[in-house]
Structure 1
Amino acid sequence: MNHIEKQLQAAPQSRLYVTVIATIIAALFAWSLTAVNFSDIQQGGLAIAKNILYGLTHPNTDLLFNLSKQSVLYLLVETIAIAFLGTIVGAILAVPLAFLAASNIVPGPVAWVTRLLLIIIRTIPALVYGLLFIRVTGLGAFAGVLTVGLTSIGMLAKLYVDAIEELDTRVLESMTSVGCTTFEKIRFGIVPQLLSSFMSVVIYRFDMNMREASILGLVGAGGIGAPLIFAMRSYKWDEVGSILIGLVVLILIIEFVSNKLRAKLVRG
Protein backbone atom coordinates (compact mmCIF):
# COMPACT_ATOMS: atom_id res chain seq x y z
CA MET A 1 0.00 0.00 0.00
CA ASN A 2 1.55 3.28 -1.06
CA HIS A 3 1.57 6.59 0.75
CA ILE A 4 -1.38 8.05 -1.21
CA GLU A 5 -3.63 5.09 -0.37
CA LYS A 6 -2.77 5.44 3.32
CA GLN A 7 -3.70 9.12 3.25
CA LEU A 8 -6.97 8.29 1.48
CA GLN A 9 -7.93 5.73 4.10
CA ALA A 10 -6.90 8.06 6.90
CA ALA A 11 -9.14 10.84 5.58
CA PRO A 12 -12.37 11.37 7.56
CA GLN A 13 -15.35 9.54 6.11
CA SER A 14 -18.16 11.79 4.86
CA ARG A 15 -20.68 9.24 3.61
CA LEU A 16 -23.47 10.67 5.74
CA TYR A 17 -22.82 14.17 4.40
CA VAL A 18 -22.77 12.97 0.78
CA THR A 19 -25.94 10.92 1.33
CA VAL A 20 -27.81 13.89 2.81
CA ILE A 21 -26.74 16.22 -0.02
CA ALA A 22 -27.65 13.64 -2.67
CA THR A 23 -31.07 13.11 -1.07
CA ILE A 24 -31.75 16.85 -1.00
CA ILE A 25 -30.76 17.22 -4.66
CA ALA A 26 -32.91 14.26 -5.67
CA ALA A 27 -35.89 15.67 -3.74
CA LEU A 28 -35.47 19.08 -5.39
CA PHE A 29 -35.24 17.45 -8.81
CA ALA A 30 -38.40 15.40 -8.18
CA TRP A 31 -40.22 18.51 -6.96
CA SER A 32 -39.12 20.45 -10.06
CA LEU A 33 -40.62 17.76 -12.30
CA THR A 34 -44.07 18.72 -11.02
CA ALA A 35 -43.79 21.88 -13.11
CA VAL A 36 -43.67 19.78 -16.31
CA ASN A 37 -47.17 19.39 -17.71
CA PHE A 38 -47.44 17.70 -21.10
CA SER A 39 -51.23 17.97 -21.07
CA ASP A 40 -50.97 21.66 -21.94
CA ILE A 41 -49.31 20.89 -25.27
CA GLN A 42 -51.74 21.42 -28.15
CA GLN A 43 -52.48 18.59 -30.50
CA GLY A 44 -51.05 20.60 -33.37
CA GLY A 45 -47.93 21.41 -31.40
CA LEU A 46 -45.69 19.10 -33.41
CA ALA A 47 -46.92 20.64 -36.65
CA ILE A 48 -46.22 24.14 -35.29
CA ALA A 49 -42.76 23.06 -34.13
CA LYS A 50 -42.11 21.67 -37.61
CA ASN A 51 -43.10 25.00 -39.19
CA ILE A 52 -40.84 26.89 -36.78
CA LEU A 53 -37.87 24.65 -37.54
CA TYR A 54 -38.49 24.91 -41.29
CA GLY A 55 -38.67 28.71 -41.12
CA LEU A 56 -35.51 28.98 -39.04
CA THR A 57 -33.57 26.77 -41.44
CA HIS A 58 -34.95 28.56 -44.54
CA PRO A 59 -34.42 32.24 -43.68
CA ASN A 60 -35.66 35.15 -45.76
CA THR A 61 -32.48 36.00 -47.68
CA ASP A 62 -33.96 39.17 -49.15
CA LEU A 63 -34.51 40.55 -45.65
CA LEU A 64 -31.03 39.43 -44.66
CA PHE A 65 -29.05 41.07 -47.48
CA ASN A 66 -30.95 44.12 -48.78
CA LEU A 67 -30.05 47.64 -47.61
CA SER A 68 -33.47 49.07 -46.74
CA LYS A 69 -34.32 50.44 -43.28
CA GLN A 70 -36.27 47.24 -42.57
CA SER A 71 -33.39 44.94 -43.45
CA VAL A 72 -31.42 42.90 -40.94
CA LEU A 73 -28.17 44.67 -41.86
CA TYR A 74 -29.60 48.12 -41.14
CA LEU A 75 -31.14 47.00 -37.85
CA LEU A 76 -27.89 45.35 -36.77
CA VAL A 77 -25.94 48.55 -37.51
CA GLU A 78 -28.48 50.49 -35.43
CA THR A 79 -28.08 47.96 -32.61
CA ILE A 80 -24.29 48.32 -32.74
CA ALA A 81 -24.62 52.11 -32.62
CA ILE A 82 -26.89 51.94 -29.57
CA ALA A 83 -24.53 49.57 -27.76
CA PHE A 84 -21.39 51.53 -28.68
CA LEU A 85 -22.67 55.00 -27.78
CA GLY A 86 -24.34 53.70 -24.62
CA THR A 87 -21.08 52.03 -23.57
CA ILE A 88 -19.11 55.24 -24.13
CA VAL A 89 -21.63 57.27 -22.09
CA GLY A 90 -21.57 54.71 -19.26
CA ALA A 91 -17.77 54.41 -19.30
CA ILE A 92 -17.30 58.18 -18.96
CA LEU A 93 -19.92 58.69 -16.24
CA ALA A 94 -18.63 55.70 -14.27
CA VAL A 95 -15.14 57.20 -13.80
CA PRO A 96 -16.00 59.93 -11.25
CA LEU A 97 -18.38 57.58 -9.43
CA ALA A 98 -15.64 54.97 -9.21
CA PHE A 99 -13.20 57.41 -7.62
CA LEU A 100 -15.91 58.50 -5.17
CA ALA A 101 -16.53 54.83 -4.28
CA ALA A 102 -12.86 53.93 -3.79
CA SER A 103 -12.09 53.74 -0.08
CA ASN A 104 -8.39 54.49 -0.64
CA ILE A 105 -9.23 57.79 -2.39
CA VAL A 106 -12.13 59.33 -0.43
CA PRO A 107 -13.35 59.11 3.20
CA GLY A 108 -15.25 55.97 4.20
CA PRO A 109 -18.76 57.52 4.46
CA VAL A 110 -18.51 59.02 0.95
CA ALA A 111 -17.35 55.70 -0.48
CA TRP A 112 -20.16 53.86 1.30
CA VAL A 113 -22.90 56.19 0.00
CA THR A 114 -21.53 56.01 -3.55
CA ARG A 115 -21.35 52.22 -3.44
CA LEU A 116 -24.96 52.12 -2.23
CA LEU A 117 -25.97 54.27 -5.21
CA LEU A 118 -24.15 51.92 -7.58
CA ILE A 119 -25.89 48.91 -6.05
CA ILE A 120 -29.27 50.57 -6.61
CA ILE A 121 -28.37 51.31 -10.25
CA ARG A 122 -27.33 47.68 -10.82
CA THR A 123 -30.45 46.29 -9.14
CA ILE A 124 -33.02 47.76 -11.55
CA PRO A 125 -33.40 45.67 -14.77
CA ALA A 126 -32.55 47.23 -18.12
CA LEU A 127 -36.10 46.77 -19.43
CA VAL A 128 -37.43 48.92 -16.57
CA TYR A 129 -34.97 51.69 -17.45
CA GLY A 130 -35.99 51.32 -21.08
CA LEU A 131 -39.68 51.77 -20.31
CA LEU A 132 -38.90 54.82 -18.15
CA PHE A 133 -36.77 56.51 -20.80
CA ILE A 134 -39.33 55.78 -23.52
CA ARG A 135 -41.86 57.78 -21.50
CA VAL A 136 -39.38 60.68 -21.44
CA THR A 137 -37.84 60.61 -24.93
CA GLY A 138 -40.39 58.62 -26.90
CA LEU A 139 -39.79 55.47 -28.92
CA GLY A 140 -36.51 55.08 -30.74
CA ALA A 141 -32.78 54.55 -30.47
CA PHE A 142 -32.15 57.51 -28.13
CA ALA A 143 -34.03 55.77 -25.33
CA GLY A 144 -31.91 52.69 -25.98
CA VAL A 145 -28.68 54.68 -25.73
CA LEU A 146 -29.73 56.23 -22.41
CA THR A 147 -30.76 52.84 -21.06
CA VAL A 148 -27.54 51.11 -22.07
CA GLY A 149 -25.50 53.99 -20.68
CA LEU A 150 -27.24 53.93 -17.30
CA THR A 151 -27.11 50.15 -16.91
CA SER A 152 -23.42 50.20 -17.84
CA ILE A 153 -22.54 52.64 -15.07
CA GLY A 154 -23.23 50.20 -12.24
CA MET A 155 -21.03 47.38 -13.50
CA LEU A 156 -18.26 49.56 -14.94
CA ALA A 157 -17.94 51.67 -11.80
CA LYS A 158 -17.75 48.53 -9.63
CA LEU A 159 -14.91 47.08 -11.72
CA TYR A 160 -13.21 50.47 -11.93
CA VAL A 161 -13.22 50.62 -8.12
CA ASP A 162 -11.48 47.25 -7.92
CA ALA A 163 -8.72 48.56 -10.21
CA ILE A 164 -8.41 51.86 -8.31
CA GLU A 165 -8.09 50.12 -4.94
CA GLU A 166 -5.23 48.01 -6.35
CA LEU A 167 -3.19 51.08 -7.31
CA ASP A 168 0.48 51.01 -6.40
CA THR A 169 0.58 53.97 -4.01
CA ARG A 170 4.36 53.83 -3.80
CA VAL A 171 4.50 55.45 -7.24
CA LEU A 172 2.38 58.37 -6.04
CA GLU A 173 4.47 58.72 -2.88
CA SER A 174 7.64 58.88 -4.98
CA MET A 175 6.13 61.53 -7.24
CA THR A 176 5.04 63.57 -4.22
CA SER A 177 8.56 63.43 -2.79
CA VAL A 178 10.01 64.95 -5.96
CA GLY A 179 7.45 67.77 -5.98
CA CYS A 180 5.00 66.64 -8.70
CA THR A 181 1.71 68.49 -8.95
CA THR A 182 -1.67 66.79 -8.57
CA PHE A 183 -2.19 66.88 -12.34
CA GLU A 184 1.20 65.30 -12.95
CA LYS A 185 0.45 62.55 -10.42
CA ILE A 186 -2.86 61.80 -12.15
CA ARG A 187 -1.36 61.99 -15.64
CA PHE A 188 1.83 60.00 -15.05
CA GLY A 189 1.09 58.01 -11.87
CA ILE A 190 -2.58 57.01 -11.94
CA VAL A 191 -3.65 56.97 -15.60
CA PRO A 192 -0.91 54.57 -16.82
CA GLN A 193 -1.83 52.09 -14.07
CA LEU A 194 -5.57 52.22 -14.74
CA LEU A 195 -5.87 52.73 -18.48
CA SER A 196 -5.42 49.12 -19.60
CA SER A 197 -7.72 47.80 -16.87
CA PHE A 198 -10.41 50.36 -17.68
CA MET A 199 -10.21 49.68 -21.42
CA SER A 200 -10.46 45.92 -20.88
CA VAL A 201 -13.57 46.39 -18.73
CA VAL A 202 -15.17 48.74 -21.28
CA ILE A 203 -14.62 46.27 -24.12
CA TYR A 204 -16.15 43.49 -22.04
CA ARG A 205 -19.15 45.68 -21.22
CA PHE A 206 -19.64 46.57 -24.90
CA ASP A 207 -19.85 42.85 -25.63
CA MET A 208 -22.62 42.57 -23.01
CA ASN A 209 -24.36 45.71 -24.24
CA MET A 210 -24.80 44.22 -27.69
CA ARG A 211 -27.14 41.67 -26.14
CA GLU A 212 -28.80 44.35 -24.00
CA ALA A 213 -29.43 46.52 -27.07
CA SER A 214 -30.99 43.56 -28.89
CA ILE A 215 -33.42 42.95 -26.03
CA LEU A 216 -34.32 46.63 -25.54
CA GLY A 217 -35.98 46.69 -28.95
CA LEU A 218 -38.73 44.60 -27.40
CA VAL A 219 -39.97 47.66 -25.51
CA GLY A 220 -39.45 50.07 -28.40
CA ALA A 221 -35.98 51.37 -27.54
CA GLY A 222 -34.58 50.86 -31.04
CA GLY A 223 -32.46 48.09 -32.46
CA ILE A 224 -33.38 44.69 -33.80
CA GLY A 225 -35.48 43.42 -30.88
CA ALA A 226 -38.82 44.91 -32.02
CA PRO A 227 -38.76 43.40 -35.56
CA LEU A 228 -37.82 40.07 -33.98
CA ILE A 229 -40.80 39.99 -31.63
CA PHE A 230 -43.16 41.27 -34.35
CA ALA A 231 -42.00 38.51 -36.70
CA MET A 232 -42.55 35.90 -33.99
CA ARG A 233 -46.03 37.20 -33.20
CA SER A 234 -46.92 37.12 -36.91
CA TYR A 235 -45.55 33.55 -37.25
CA LYS A 236 -43.10 34.71 -39.93
CA TRP A 237 -40.48 32.18 -38.99
CA ASP A 238 -38.37 32.78 -42.10
CA GLU A 239 -37.92 36.41 -40.97
CA VAL A 240 -37.13 35.22 -37.44
CA GLY A 241 -34.48 32.93 -38.93
CA SER A 242 -32.91 35.83 -40.83
CA ILE A 243 -32.77 38.06 -37.76
CA LEU A 244 -31.32 35.31 -35.56
CA ILE A 245 -28.66 34.45 -38.14
CA GLY A 246 -27.63 38.11 -38.31
CA LEU A 247 -27.50 38.37 -34.52
CA VAL A 248 -25.49 35.19 -34.07
CA VAL A 249 -22.93 36.17 -36.72
CA LEU A 250 -22.59 39.68 -35.29
CA ILE A 251 -22.18 38.47 -31.70
CA LEU A 252 -19.54 35.94 -32.79
CA ILE A 253 -17.57 38.63 -34.63
CA ILE A 254 -17.73 41.03 -31.68
CA GLU A 255 -16.78 38.24 -29.27
CA PHE A 256 -13.74 37.36 -31.38
CA VAL A 257 -12.58 40.98 -31.78
CA SER A 258 -13.15 41.87 -28.10
CA ASN A 259 -11.20 38.81 -26.94
CA LYS A 260 -8.30 39.80 -29.17
CA LEU A 261 -8.34 43.38 -27.90
CA ARG A 262 -8.52 42.35 -24.24
CA ALA A 263 -5.66 39.89 -24.74
CA LYS A 264 -3.50 42.67 -26.22
CA LEU A 265 -4.34 44.98 -23.34
CA VAL A 266 -3.41 42.32 -20.79
CA ARG A 267 -0.10 41.64 -22.56
CA GLY A 268 0.53 45.36 -22.93
Structure 2
Amino acid sequence: MNAIEQQLQYGKRNRISLIITVITIFCLLVWSATAINLENMAANGLDIAKSIILGILNPDWTLLTDFKGGIPYLLIETLAIAFLGTIIGAIIAIPLAFFSASNIVPKPVAWIVRLLLICIRTIPAIVYGLMFVRVTGFGAFTGVLTIAFVSVGMLAKLFVDVIEDLDRSVLESMTSIGCNMFEKIRFGIIPQLSALFLSIVIYRFDMNLRDASILGLVGAGGIGAPLIFAMNSYRWTQVGSILIGLVLLILIVEYLSNKIRTKLVKG
Protein backbone atom coordinates (compact mmCIF):
# COMPACT_ATOMS: atom_id res chain seq x y z
CA MET A 1 0.00 0.00 0.00
CA ASN A 2 1.53 3.31 -1.05
CA ALA A 3 1.44 6.58 0.85
CA ILE A 4 -1.53 7.96 -1.12
CA GLU A 5 -3.72 4.95 -0.30
CA GLN A 6 -2.71 5.16 3.38
CA GLN A 7 -3.66 8.84 3.45
CA LEU A 8 -7.06 8.11 1.86
CA GLN A 9 -7.79 5.36 4.39
CA TYR A 10 -6.74 7.62 7.24
CA GLY A 11 -9.02 10.37 5.88
CA LYS A 12 -12.02 8.00 5.78
CA ARG A 13 -11.41 6.84 9.36
CA ASN A 14 -10.99 10.42 10.49
CA ARG A 15 -14.26 11.42 8.78
CA ILE A 16 -16.15 8.57 10.46
CA SER A 17 -14.76 9.58 13.87
CA LEU A 18 -15.77 13.19 13.25
CA ILE A 19 -19.33 12.19 12.31
CA ILE A 20 -19.66 10.01 15.40
CA THR A 21 -18.36 12.83 17.60
CA VAL A 22 -20.79 15.37 16.12
CA ILE A 23 -23.75 13.01 16.55
CA THR A 24 -22.74 12.28 20.15
CA ILE A 25 -22.44 15.98 21.01
CA PHE A 26 -25.79 16.73 19.36
CA CYS A 27 -27.50 13.95 21.34
CA LEU A 28 -25.97 15.26 24.57
CA LEU A 29 -27.20 18.78 23.79
CA VAL A 30 -30.73 17.51 23.10
CA TRP A 31 -30.68 15.46 26.31
CA SER A 32 -29.42 18.47 28.31
CA ALA A 33 -32.14 20.69 26.82
CA THR A 34 -34.82 18.42 28.29
CA ALA A 35 -33.76 19.60 31.76
CA ILE A 36 -34.80 23.19 30.98
CA ASN A 37 -38.03 24.05 32.74
CA LEU A 38 -39.57 27.38 31.75
CA GLU A 39 -42.67 26.84 33.87
CA ASN A 40 -40.84 28.06 36.99
CA MET A 41 -39.97 31.40 35.39
CA ALA A 42 -41.76 34.24 37.14
CA ALA A 43 -44.35 36.16 35.20
CA ASN A 44 -42.50 39.41 35.84
CA GLY A 45 -39.12 37.90 35.00
CA LEU A 46 -38.58 40.13 31.98
CA ASP A 47 -39.39 43.22 34.05
CA ILE A 48 -36.84 42.19 36.67
CA ALA A 49 -34.23 41.52 33.98
CA LYS A 50 -34.91 44.97 32.52
CA SER A 51 -34.46 46.55 35.96
CA ILE A 52 -31.15 44.74 36.42
CA ILE A 53 -29.79 45.91 33.08
CA LEU A 54 -30.93 49.51 33.58
CA GLY A 55 -29.48 49.58 37.09
CA ILE A 56 -26.11 48.26 35.93
CA LEU A 57 -26.03 50.75 33.05
CA ASN A 58 -26.88 53.61 35.45
CA PRO A 59 -24.57 52.99 38.42
CA ASP A 60 -24.39 55.06 41.59
CA TRP A 61 -21.18 57.00 40.93
CA THR A 62 -21.04 58.41 44.46
CA LEU A 63 -20.10 54.96 45.77
CA LEU A 64 -17.08 54.86 43.48
CA THR A 65 -15.71 58.12 44.92
CA ASP A 66 -16.15 57.24 48.62
CA PHE A 67 -12.65 56.19 49.67
CA LYS A 68 -13.35 55.82 53.39
CA GLY A 69 -15.85 52.98 53.41
CA GLY A 70 -17.12 52.73 49.87
CA ILE A 71 -16.28 50.57 46.90
CA PRO A 72 -12.61 51.66 46.53
CA TYR A 73 -11.88 50.57 50.11
CA LEU A 74 -13.60 47.22 49.59
CA LEU A 75 -11.72 46.67 46.32
CA ILE A 76 -8.40 47.33 48.05
CA GLU A 77 -9.41 44.87 50.78
CA THR A 78 -10.26 42.27 48.12
CA LEU A 79 -6.90 42.88 46.44
CA ALA A 80 -5.10 42.50 49.77
CA ILE A 81 -6.92 39.23 50.53
CA ALA A 82 -5.96 37.79 47.15
CA PHE A 83 -2.34 38.96 47.42
CA LEU A 84 -1.68 37.74 50.96
CA GLY A 85 -3.51 34.47 50.38
CA THR A 86 -1.49 33.82 47.22
CA ILE A 87 1.82 34.49 49.01
CA ILE A 88 0.95 32.17 51.90
CA GLY A 89 -0.27 29.48 49.50
CA ALA A 90 2.93 29.74 47.43
CA ILE A 91 5.13 29.42 50.53
CA ILE A 92 3.29 26.25 51.55
CA ALA A 93 3.17 24.88 47.99
CA ILE A 94 6.92 25.06 47.30
CA PRO A 95 8.06 22.35 49.77
CA LEU A 96 5.04 20.21 48.89
CA ALA A 97 5.97 20.49 45.21
CA PHE A 98 9.52 19.28 45.87
CA PHE A 99 8.23 16.38 47.96
CA SER A 100 5.85 15.37 45.14
CA ALA A 101 8.45 15.54 42.34
CA SER A 102 9.50 12.02 41.41
CA ASN A 103 12.90 13.19 40.16
CA ILE A 104 13.72 14.70 43.57
CA VAL A 105 12.30 12.26 46.14
CA PRO A 106 11.51 8.52 46.04
CA LYS A 107 8.37 7.64 44.07
CA PRO A 108 6.34 6.35 47.07
CA VAL A 109 6.85 9.67 48.86
CA ALA A 110 5.95 11.61 45.71
CA TRP A 111 2.81 9.52 45.24
CA ILE A 112 1.60 10.14 48.82
CA VAL A 113 2.16 13.90 48.60
CA ARG A 114 0.46 14.06 45.20
CA LEU A 115 -2.54 12.26 46.65
CA LEU A 116 -2.69 14.90 49.39
CA LEU A 117 -2.55 17.68 46.80
CA ILE A 118 -5.36 16.06 44.80
CA CYS A 119 -7.51 16.00 47.93
CA ILE A 120 -6.78 19.69 48.53
CA ARG A 121 -7.69 20.62 44.95
CA THR A 122 -10.91 18.60 45.08
CA ILE A 123 -12.60 20.96 47.57
CA PRO A 124 -14.02 24.15 45.94
CA ALA A 125 -13.08 27.58 47.24
CA ILE A 126 -16.62 28.31 48.43
CA VAL A 127 -16.56 25.19 50.64
CA TYR A 128 -13.24 26.24 52.19
CA GLY A 129 -14.78 29.64 52.82
CA LEU A 130 -17.81 28.16 54.58
CA MET A 131 -15.57 25.97 56.77
CA PHE A 132 -13.21 28.78 57.77
CA VAL A 133 -16.11 31.12 58.51
CA ARG A 134 -17.25 28.62 61.13
CA VAL A 135 -13.74 28.44 62.61
CA THR A 136 -12.44 32.03 62.47
CA GLY A 137 -15.66 33.99 62.00
CA PHE A 138 -16.49 36.59 59.38
CA GLY A 139 -13.85 38.91 58.01
CA ALA A 140 -10.82 39.31 55.77
CA PHE A 141 -8.72 36.81 57.72
CA THR A 142 -11.11 34.05 56.69
CA GLY A 143 -10.70 35.10 53.07
CA VAL A 144 -6.91 34.98 53.34
CA LEU A 145 -6.98 31.45 54.78
CA THR A 146 -9.40 30.31 52.09
CA ILE A 147 -7.35 31.75 49.23
CA ALA A 148 -4.18 30.22 50.71
CA PHE A 149 -5.64 26.71 50.89
CA VAL A 150 -7.18 26.96 47.43
CA SER A 151 -3.84 28.12 46.03
CA VAL A 152 -1.75 25.35 47.58
CA GLY A 153 -3.13 22.50 45.49
CA MET A 154 -2.93 24.18 42.09
CA LEU A 155 0.37 25.98 42.70
CA ALA A 156 2.04 22.79 43.89
CA LYS A 157 0.79 20.93 40.81
CA LEU A 158 2.18 23.58 38.45
CA PHE A 159 5.43 23.75 40.41
CA VAL A 160 5.84 19.98 40.08
CA ASP A 161 5.48 20.16 36.31
CA VAL A 162 8.28 22.72 36.19
CA ILE A 163 10.51 20.78 38.60
CA GLU A 164 10.19 17.56 36.63
CA ASP A 165 11.26 19.36 33.43
CA LEU A 166 14.54 20.46 34.99
CA ASP A 167 17.89 19.91 33.34
CA ARG A 168 18.93 16.72 35.12
CA SER A 169 22.55 17.08 34.08
CA VAL A 170 22.96 19.83 36.68
CA LEU A 171 21.68 17.54 39.43
CA GLU A 172 23.88 14.68 38.24
CA SER A 173 26.93 16.94 38.30
CA MET A 174 26.12 18.06 41.84
CA THR A 175 25.60 14.44 42.90
CA SER A 176 29.00 13.49 41.48
CA ILE A 177 30.74 16.09 43.66
CA GLY A 178 28.91 14.91 46.79
CA CYS A 179 26.17 17.52 47.25
CA ASN A 180 23.32 16.61 49.57
CA MET A 181 19.62 17.10 48.85
CA PHE A 182 19.45 20.58 50.41
CA GLU A 183 22.45 21.79 48.38
CA LYS A 184 20.91 20.43 45.18
CA ILE A 185 17.70 22.34 45.83
CA ARG A 186 19.44 25.53 46.98
CA PHE A 187 22.15 25.85 44.32
CA GLY A 188 21.02 23.62 41.45
CA ILE A 189 17.25 23.86 41.31
CA ILE A 190 16.08 27.18 42.75
CA PRO A 191 18.18 29.32 40.35
CA GLN A 192 16.51 27.52 37.44
CA LEU A 193 13.02 27.75 38.88
CA SER A 194 12.75 31.18 40.48
CA ALA A 195 11.51 33.04 37.37
CA LEU A 196 9.07 30.28 36.39
CA PHE A 197 7.77 29.95 39.93
CA LEU A 198 7.18 33.68 40.15
CA SER A 199 5.35 33.66 36.82
CA ILE A 200 3.08 30.85 38.06
CA VAL A 201 2.39 32.71 41.32
CA ILE A 202 1.39 35.85 39.40
CA TYR A 203 -0.93 33.79 37.19
CA ARG A 204 -2.53 32.26 40.29
CA PHE A 205 -2.90 35.72 41.82
CA ASP A 206 -5.06 36.72 38.83
CA MET A 207 -7.35 33.79 39.52
CA ASN A 208 -7.40 34.39 43.27
CA LEU A 209 -8.51 37.98 42.77
CA ARG A 210 -11.70 36.70 41.15
CA ASP A 211 -12.15 34.06 43.85
CA ALA A 212 -11.67 36.69 46.58
CA SER A 213 -14.51 38.76 45.13
CA ILE A 214 -16.80 35.72 45.31
CA LEU A 215 -15.78 34.65 48.81
CA GLY A 216 -17.39 37.74 50.26
CA LEU A 217 -20.70 36.04 49.53
CA VAL A 218 -20.05 33.69 52.47
CA GLY A 219 -18.71 36.43 54.74
CA ALA A 220 -15.01 36.01 53.99
CA GLY A 221 -14.37 39.72 53.49
CA GLY A 222 -13.95 41.78 50.37
CA ILE A 223 -16.42 43.15 47.84
CA GLY A 224 -18.63 40.04 47.62
CA ALA A 225 -20.76 40.71 50.70
CA PRO A 226 -21.92 44.22 49.63
CA LEU A 227 -22.59 42.82 46.17
CA ILE A 228 -24.92 40.08 47.40
CA PHE A 229 -26.64 42.47 49.86
CA ALA A 230 -27.29 44.96 47.05
CA MET A 231 -28.67 42.21 44.82
CA ASN A 232 -30.93 40.81 47.54
CA SER A 233 -32.37 44.26 48.22
CA TYR A 234 -32.82 44.99 44.49
CA ARG A 235 -30.50 48.03 44.56
CA TRP A 236 -29.29 47.53 41.02
CA THR A 237 -27.58 50.91 40.77
CA GLN A 238 -25.29 49.83 43.61
CA VAL A 239 -24.73 46.51 41.87
CA GLY A 240 -23.67 48.40 38.77
CA SER A 241 -21.20 50.49 40.76
CA ILE A 242 -19.67 47.43 42.39
CA LEU A 243 -19.36 45.57 39.08
CA ILE A 244 -17.73 48.56 37.38
CA GLY A 245 -15.18 48.88 40.18
CA LEU A 246 -14.50 45.14 40.13
CA VAL A 247 -14.05 45.04 36.36
CA LEU A 248 -11.65 48.00 36.43
CA LEU A 249 -9.61 46.41 39.22
CA ILE A 250 -9.33 43.07 37.42
CA LEU A 251 -8.38 44.75 34.14
CA ILE A 252 -5.63 46.79 35.79
CA VAL A 253 -4.22 43.83 37.70
CA GLU A 254 -4.36 41.56 34.66
CA TYR A 255 -2.56 44.14 32.51
CA LEU A 256 0.22 44.60 35.05
CA SER A 257 0.59 40.88 35.75
CA ASN A 258 0.81 40.07 32.03
CA LYS A 259 3.56 42.66 31.66
CA ILE A 260 5.51 41.20 34.58
CA ARG A 261 5.06 37.60 33.43
CA THR A 262 6.20 38.47 29.92
CA LYS A 263 9.39 40.04 31.28
CA LEU A 264 10.03 37.04 33.53
CA VAL A 265 9.59 34.52 30.72
CA LYS A 266 11.81 36.48 28.33
CA GLY A 267 14.23 36.84 31.08
Q: Is the TM value for this pair above 0.5?
A: yes
* Paired residue type of 1:37: N
1:64 matched to 2:93? The reply is: no
2:47 paired residue number = 47
2:190 paired residue number = 191
1:114 matched to 2:113? The reply is: yes
Gaps of 5+ in 1: none
* Paired residue type of 2:47: A
| Identity rate, percent | 64
* Paired residue type of 2:29: F
CA drift at 1:17? 4.4
TM-score, scaled to structure 1: 0.90
2:236 paired residue number = 237
CA drift at 1:28? 2.2
CA drift at 1:51? 1.2
CA-to-aligned-CA distance 1:198-255 (integer Å, 9 cap, x gap) = 1011001100100111111010000011100000000000000000011111111111
Residues matched between the structures, number: 265
Q: Distance in 1 between matches of 2:96 and 2:46?
A: 53
* Paired residue type of 1:245: I
Gaps of 5+ in 2: none
SS of 1:222 mapped into structure 2: coil
Counterparts of 1:212-227 in structure 2, within 5 Å, are 212-227=211-226
* Paired residue type of 2:214: I
Alpha carbons of 1:192 and 1:60: their partners in 2 closer, same or farther (altered >3 Å)?
Answer: same
Q: Distance in 2 between matches of 1:133 and 1:55?
A: 34
TM-score, scaled to structure 2: 0.91
1:35 paired residue number = 35
2:153 paired residue number = 154
Q: Distance in 2 between matches of 1:240 and 1:17?
A: 47
Counterparts of 1:248-263 in structure 2, within 5 Å, are 248-263=247-262
* Paired residue type of 1:243: I
SS of 1:12 mapped into structure 2: helix
SS of 2:97 mapped into structure 1: helix
Alpha carbons of 1:73 and 1:186: their partners in 2 closer, same or farther (altered >3 Å)?
Answer: same
SS of 1:43 mapped into structure 2: coil
2:136 paired residue number = 137
1:125 matched to 2:124? The reply is: yes
